[in-house]
């Protein structure tokens, strides 16, 4: 197959041999998700598959990794897209109570639903599953000292994981055999100190899922302030809002100035202070391979009152799937600020065994202190809340 045919096929639909369509389609999918895949790489990918046989799907995967060369920080996302394309391993889109698909917004573009009336409101409704689209504004204020201290301390308090890459170390490592052999040759067998290496540690991903329904209106601004501080402190943070829709607001919160960041986030989100479909929106999150890859090995913090309307089966399913993918799954609810609070609703009882943490999210001080403790082990939520 010529390079021109592959180049044209990557940019638009073009007739291709049936055997090549699947591989060119994978290159097209990677480009759709922002990978810099050149036509030469797609040709090399197909040539690699030809040389390997392929004897199994693992050969195709190895050829893809070798030729399409995903960056290490996007390796999990690449694996998720590969499974989605070659295995159809994805969660089907789910439907809400009003028989409409949950909308997922990830571009901050123009509002597509022009048939609905958008209203500027200051108040929110009680927990409801009905979709109610509004525009939200935030008062301009400077960054307070508490959040500034939180942002500075966060980088050293987040949980870490060991990678397979190694770095040089003066002590407490394993012998670097290759460098040791070179040193022996250069020093004619006299090596006074063997070079050592240890496995490198990196900060785990942090995923914040913020409930922006009407019942959470009093806490939304504080949650977004804390989320902005997290996004500024680490480049491995992802932030989403959910109500009746799912919206990725990470690009907005990457803006250094907090007031501008919150204003940008306000423009991205369409479902401020409306209804809530927790289970439906979380399943919509998991149905997108790129989003689901964010959750793998991450510290996931859900900021919500967990007041699901109607059947909580979808919420329970979504929380179980998030729990299996995550390093730590936490629910911060403002209801826990009341000393009389107990997880006694059907939804909370169902998800409590899955949660690592069920903590007070009623104040910004309590929330930031909890996020700073994510790197320290504590008893699981079920062990704490089921005590007599």
pLDDT in tens, 213-269: 988 999 999 999 999 999 999 999 999 999 888 999 999 999 999 999 999 999 989
> 40 and 120 share a domain?
no
> 272 and 318 share a domain?
yes
240: phi then psi, degrees, rounded to nearest 5:
-130, 150
Taking the whole predicted model, whether its pTM rises above 0.95 is answered as no
- Residue 115 confidence (pLDDT): 33
Contact in structure between 270 and 105 (CB atoms under 8 Å):
yes
- Residue 244 confidence (pLDDT): 87
Contact in structure between 315 and 94 (CB atoms under 8 Å):
no
**379 lies in a domain?**
yes
Contact in structure between 171 and 196 (CB atoms under 8 Å):
yes
> 8 and 113 share a domain?
no
**158 lies in a domain?**
no
**123 lies in a domain?**
yes
Is pLDDT at 387 greater than 70 in this prediction? no
CATH of the domain at 359: 3.40.50.410
**217 lies in a domain?**
yes
Q: Convert the pLDDT of each residue in 4-55 to its tens digit.
A: 544 444 544 455 667 788 888 888 888 888 788 888 888 899 998 888 887 8
- Least confident stretch, 111-120, 269-278, 333-342: 111-120
Q: Convert the pLDDT of each residue in 45-96 to its tens digit.
A: 999 888 888 788 888 999 999 998 888 878 888 888 888 888 765 544 444 4
Contact in structure between 180 and 191 (CB atoms under 8 Å):
yes
> 123 and 136 share a domain?
yes
> 187 and 245 share a domain?
no
Specify the residue for token string 């936490």. 330
Q: Convert the pLDDT of each residue in 172-193 to its tens digit.
A: 778 877 777 777 777 777 767 7
What 3-state class would DSSP assign to 119? strand
Q: In whole angstroms, give the CA distance from residue 242 to residue 105.
A: 10
Query: Exposed, middle or buried by CB within 10 Å (0-12, 13-18, 19+), for 228?
Result: buried
211 secondary structure, DSSP code:
E
**299 lies in a domain?**
yes
- Residue 36 confidence (pLDDT): 81
**32 lies in a domain?**
yes
Q: Are strands 119-120 and 134-135 parallel, antiparallel or unpaired?
A: parallel
> 141 and 256 share a domain?
yes
Q: In whole angstroms, give the CA distance from residue 228 to residue 254.
A: 7
> 183 and 230 share a domain?
no
- Residue 272 confidence (pLDDT): 86
- Least confident stretch, 187-191, 251-255, 309-313, 370-374: 187-191
Angle, vertex CA 35, rays to CA 204 and CA 233, nearest 5: 30
Residue 72 or 365, more confident: 365
pLDDT band at 388 (very low <50, low <70, confident <90, very high): low
Domain boundary residue, one of 140, 174, 200: 200
> 38 and 146 share a domain?
no
**7 lies in a domain?**
yes
Is pLDDT at 359 greater than 80 in this prediction? yes
**Mean predicted lDDT score pLDDT of the chain:** 81
What 3-state class would DSSP assign to 7? helix
Tokens read off for 275: 């209804």
Domain of 30, in residue numbers: 3-87
Element (H, E) at 169: strand 160-169
> 330 and 379 share a domain?
yes
Specify the residue for token string 């917004």. 105
Please give the C-alpha separations between residue 166 and each of 121, 126, 194, in angstroms, as whole numbers.
Answer: 53, 52, 16
Is pLDDT at 364 greater than 80 in this prediction? yes
- Residue 373 confidence (pLDDT): 93
Q: How many percent of the chain have pLDDT more than 90?
A: 36
Residue 288 or 239, more confident: 239
> 138 and 216 share a domain?
yes
**265 lies in a domain?**
yes
Q: How many domains does the chain have?
A: 3
List Cβ neighbours of 69 (8 Å cut-off, separation of 6 or more): 41
> 271 and 329 share a domain?
yes
> 38 and 186 share a domain?
no
- Residue 88 confidence (pLDDT): 64
Q: How many percent of the chain have pLDDT more than 70?
A: 80
Q: In whole angstroms, give the CA distance from residue 67 to residue 48.
A: 8
């Amino acid at each position: 197959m010529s390079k021109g045919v592959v180049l044209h096929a990557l940019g638009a639909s073009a007739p291709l041999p049936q055997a090549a369509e699947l591989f060119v389609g994978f290159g097209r999918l990677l480009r759709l998700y922002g990978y810099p895949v050149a036509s030469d790489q797609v040709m090399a990918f197909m040539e690699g598959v030809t040389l390997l046989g392929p004897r199994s799907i693992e050969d195709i995967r190895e050829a893809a990794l070798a030729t399409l060369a995903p960056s290490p920080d996007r390796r999990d996302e690449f694996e998720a897209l590969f499974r989605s394309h070659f295995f159809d391993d994805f969660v089907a889109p789910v439907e809400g109570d009003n028989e409409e698909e949950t909308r997922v917004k990830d571009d901050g573009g123009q509002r597509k639903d022009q048939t609905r009336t958008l209203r500027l409101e200051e108040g929110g409704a009680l927990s409801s599953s009905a979709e109610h689209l509004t525009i939200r504004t935030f008062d301009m204020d400077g960054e307070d000292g508490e959040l500034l201290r939180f942002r500075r301390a966060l980088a050293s308090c987040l949980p870490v994981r060991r990678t397979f890459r190694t770095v040089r170390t003066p002590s407490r490592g394993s012998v670097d055999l290759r460098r040791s052999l070179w040193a022996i040759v250069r020093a004619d067998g006299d090596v006074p100190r063997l070079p050592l290496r240890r496995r490198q540690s990196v900060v785990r991903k942090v995923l914040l899922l913020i409930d922006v329904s009407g019942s959470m209106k009093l806490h939304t601004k504080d949650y977004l302030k804390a989320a902005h501080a997290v996004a500024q402190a680490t480049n491995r943070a992802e932030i989403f809002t959910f109500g009746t829709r799912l919206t990725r607001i990470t690009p907005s919160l990457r803006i250094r100035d907090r007031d501008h960041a919150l204003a940008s986030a306000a423009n991205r989100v369409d479902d401020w202070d409306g209804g809530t479909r927790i289970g439906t929106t979380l399943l919509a999150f998991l149905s997108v391979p790129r989003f689901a890859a964010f959750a793998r090995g991450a510290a996931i913090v859900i900021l919500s009152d967990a007041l699901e309307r109607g059947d909580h089966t979808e919420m329970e399913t979504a929380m179980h799937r998030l729990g299996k993918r995550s390093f730590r799954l936490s629910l911060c609810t403002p209801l826990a600020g009341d000393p009389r609070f107990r997880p006694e609703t059907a939804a909370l009882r169902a998800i409590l065994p899955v949660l690592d943490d069920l903590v007070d999210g009623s104040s910004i001080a309590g929330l930031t202190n909890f996020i700073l403790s994510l790197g320290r082990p504590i008893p699981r939520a079920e062990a704490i809340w089921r005590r007599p």
